[in-house]
Amino acid sequence: MVSQNILCSVPDSTLAKLFSGNHELKKTDDGSIFLDRDGKTFNTLVNFLRNNRRIYPEFTDINEKKLFQEEMLFWNIKDDRVDERRT
């Protein structure tokens, strides 16, 4: 679970736009909203947002780092530590 405030904490991000209240989001039977994203990577992103983007995650696997950086690009969350050039 994550609060709307966390999801909207980066004003110009796609996440903020999606959860701003301007879009009708389809909910599951229990009232949850399903995002078709990798759960582990998205959880890392949410924790990064919870820490006001000050504590960059540590990765033991280069692929996990790449997935995280792609997730940041997907949601348009800017950070100086992320290379925005896709290689």
| Predicted local distance difference test score (pLDDT) of residue 82 | 64
DSSP 35: -
Cα Rg of the chain (Å, integer): 13
DSSP 79: -
DSSP 37: S
Over range 82-86, report the average pLDDT. 53
Q: How far is Cα 8 from Cα 16, in angstroms, rounded to an integer?
A: 4
Name the token pair of 58: 């540590």
pTM: 0.85
**What domains sit in the chain, N to C, each tagged with a CATH number?**
4-74 (3.30.710.10)
In 13-84, which residue ranges form alpha helices assigned H by DSSP? Answer: 14-18, 39-50, 62-74
Percent of the chain with pLDDT over 90: 78
Q: Does 85 score more than 60 pLDDT?
A: no
Over range 61-87, report the average pLDDT. 83
pLDDT band at 62 (very low <50, low <70, confident <90, very high): very high
